[in-house]
Amino acid sequence: MNIFGIGLPEMAVIMVVALLVFGPKKLPEIGRSMGKAIRGFKMLLKSFKMNLKKKHHN
């Protein structure tokens, strides 16, 4: 598994550090916020690509 160039061992270390820093009660909230941000970024990127294609075809 490779997400953004980060493998599974690195992801596990990041999760453990996040758990130690933020605590177990804050992690779900942080995860939701990150998920929303990533979805927003993907939607923005898709919109940008569609606009670029429209301008290129005209």
- Taking only the tens place, the pLDDT of each residue in 27-52 is 888 888 888 998 998 999 899 999 88
Residue 1 lies in a domain: no
Structure tokens at 26: 């804050």
Residue 48 lies in a domain: yes
Helix, strand, coil share (%) of the chain residues, nearest 5: 80, 5, 15
Domain enclosing residue 36, as ranges: 8-57
CB-CB contact of 27 with 19 (8 Å): yes
- pTM comes to 0.57
Instruction: Count structural domains, the chain.
Output: 1
- Per residue in 5-34, pLDDT tens? 778 888 888 888 888 888 888 888 888 888
Residue 3 lies in a domain: no
Residue 49 lies in a domain: yes
Q: How far apart are CA 10 and CA 28, in angstroms?
A: 20
Residue 42 lies in a domain: yes
Q: How far apart are CA 45 and CA 37, in angstroms?
A: 12
Residue 22 lies in a domain: yes
Residue 53 lies in a domain: yes
